[in-house]
Amino acid sequence: MSRRVLVVALDGTTFDLIGPWLDDGSMPNLARLREEGTHGPLRSIVPPVTAPAWCSFMTGKNPGKHGVYEFFLREPGSFDEIPVSAKVRRGRTVWELLGDSGKRVLVVNVPVTYPPAPVNGSLIGDFLTPMGERDFTFPRGLLKEVEEATGPYELYHVEVYRRGKGHVVLDELDRVLEANRRANRWLIENKPFDFAMFHVWGTDRFGHELWHVLDPSHPMHDPAEALLLRDRCLAYWRRVDEVVGEWFAAAGPDTTRFVISDHGFGPIHRFLVINAWLLQKGWIRLRPTVTSFVRRSLFELGLSPATGYRMAMRLGFARLRLASGVGTRKRLIERVNRVFLSLHDVDWSRTRA
């Protein structure tokens, strides 16, 4: 029997976090894989961001060649941003090349695979699918098959951390992981493949929303909160280990197994916003209008797209970031630019930067 391949992509996972748990037996399946196989830290791409990193993995190209640098890209001839998608990614993917050679593939939730392209096998798109759309599988009827067999399909994580509400994030992480466990187990057992790849987004969302719970050096770390949530955080990662082990067991002993990631995590104590620095130095000049003056005043008070976005997420408007359709997302961005200081306020004739 020819060997087949199963790649499990744990987004944002680093040995800095899980290494001690592999050592102490908390994650036995990944520990066994480490001991029986080969392991080591992977160097991410520049920038070390989910969307371009997975595009580099699937195409073998750097961002300069596949064209994806972030979750957004500039519209040609303007400073307007549009969300990335599989339509803008350049280069053939590993599963397309394998399909050309007659190999059957099974690709699930890998970032920047929406809208789904035809493959020799099955493909389920990623969390960049606009919320409400159901056209994220190939073949189109695959979603109905999976849901009839395993229940409603979970594609998104929308909860963000709010003080005292970390358990809400963990509840969602547990629910989505369980839904993905069932769906991917069914796919392994019912869709033949020579190469399969399953992406787990929850591990990345854990890092973004809850890293501070486990890291005493983080500025947001609260020992009392850590005492309440630490066991649940560890339980989530133990469950990730169990799920990965279940998928590998279902795939069978003649399957070559990989566990990979796109980037790591760590605390952010400070960061530099280049445009804000240029503005402070006087190398960016703004239009001499009332609206630009008001926007700059709000900016100096700390109101920016980043803080406004975070506030909206905490108020329960997380689904706005997953608004249906590129057109709707673009209109949201345009509205943000009308409220907050943006490049539309720059007086280019007086700007030296």
Question: The domain spanning residue 81 has which CATH number?
Answer: 3.40.720.10
Of 231, 260, 289, the domain-final residue: 260
Of all residues in the chain, what percent are helix, strand and coil, respectively (each to 5)? 50, 10, 40
Whether residue 320 lies inside any domain: the answer is yes
Whether residue 110 lies inside any domain: the answer is yes
> Do 237 and 308 lie in a common domain?
no
Condensed to tens digits (0 to 9), the pLDDT of residues 293-348 reads 999 998 888 877 767 666 666 666 655 555 545 555 566 666 666 778 888 899 99
| Cβ–Cβ under 8 Å, residues 225 and 213 | yes
> Do 208 and 78 lie in a common domain?
yes
Q: Classify the C-alpha dihedral 76-82-87-93 as positive or negative.
A: positive
> Do 299 and 167 lie in a common domain?
no
Q: Which residues contact 123 (CB under 8 A, 6 or more apart)?
A: 95, 105, 106, 107, 108, 113, 116, 117, 137, 138
Whether residue 77 lies inside any domain: the answer is yes
> Do 221 and 326 lie in a common domain?
no
What phi and psi, each to the nearest 5 degrees, are found at residue 257?
-115, 135
Whether residue 268 lies inside any domain: the answer is no
User: How many residues can be counted in the chain?
Assistant: 353
Whether residue 267 lies inside any domain: the answer is no
Domain limits for position 190: 4-260
| pLDDT recorded at residue 324 | 47
Q: Rounded to two decimals, what is the model's pTM?
A: 0.90
| Cβ–Cβ under 8 Å, residues 102 and 120 | yes
> Do 252 and 344 lie in a common domain?
no
| DSSP string over 125-146 | --TTSPTT----EESTTHHHHH
> Do 252 and 292 lie in a common domain?
no
DSSP state of 83: E
> Do 42 and 150 lie in a common domain?
yes
> Do 129 and 211 lie in a common domain?
yes
Whether residue 17 lies inside any domain: the answer is yes
> Do 189 and 110 lie in a common domain?
yes
Domain count of the chain? 2
> Do 128 and 207 lie in a common domain?
yes
Of 228, 260, 292, the domain-final residue: 260
| pLDDT recorded at residue 314 | 64
- Spans in the chain with pLDDT lower than 50: 1, 324
> Do 103 and 79 lie in a common domain?
yes
| pLDDT recorded at residue 333 | 61
| pLDDT recorded at residue 292 | 92
Of 212, 232, 260, the domain-final residue: 260
| pLDDT recorded at residue 303 | 78
Q: How many CB atoms lie within 10 A of CB 261?
A: 23
> Do 82 and 158 lie in a common domain?
yes
